[in-house]
Amino acid sequence: LDLARRNRYDAMITDLVMEEINGVELLRRVKKLLPDISLFAMTAYPGGEWISQAKQAGALKIFEKPFDISEIIESINVEMASK
C-alpha cells in the first residue's frame, strides 16, 4: 500500500490471504488511490466470499493456486494491450 501511495502502477497482483492486511482490503485501498490500475488476485482458497469480494473490489481476474505463471502473464498482457 505504501508503494501505491508513492508510485504510479499500471497493474497489481496480490494474494487474497495475507497476515497484515487481507487482499480484498488492499485491492479496495489501491483502487481508491489509483483508479486506473488493473487489479488481479491469487488465492489458494477458491470459491466463497473471497472471490466475490475481490471482484467487487476491482479484481479483473482471480488466479487459483497452484497456477501457471504464463496464464498470469497472458492476462496482464491482454489487459495492458486493451488500455
pLDDT for residue 16: 94
Predicted confidence at residue 46, as pLDDT, reads 79
| Tens digit of each residue's pLDDT, the chain (83 residues) | 788 888 889 999 999 998 888 999 999 999 999 999 999 999 998 777 889 999 999 999 999 999 999 999 999 999 999 98
- pTM for this structure? 0.90
- Residues 73 and 35: their CA atoms lie apart, in Å, by 22
The rounded distance, in Å, linking the Cα atoms of 3 and 63 is 23
What pLDDT sits at residue 50?
85
Cell of 58: 476491482
pLDDT at 8: 86
The radius of gyration computed from the CA coordinates of the chain, to the nearest angstrom, equals: 12
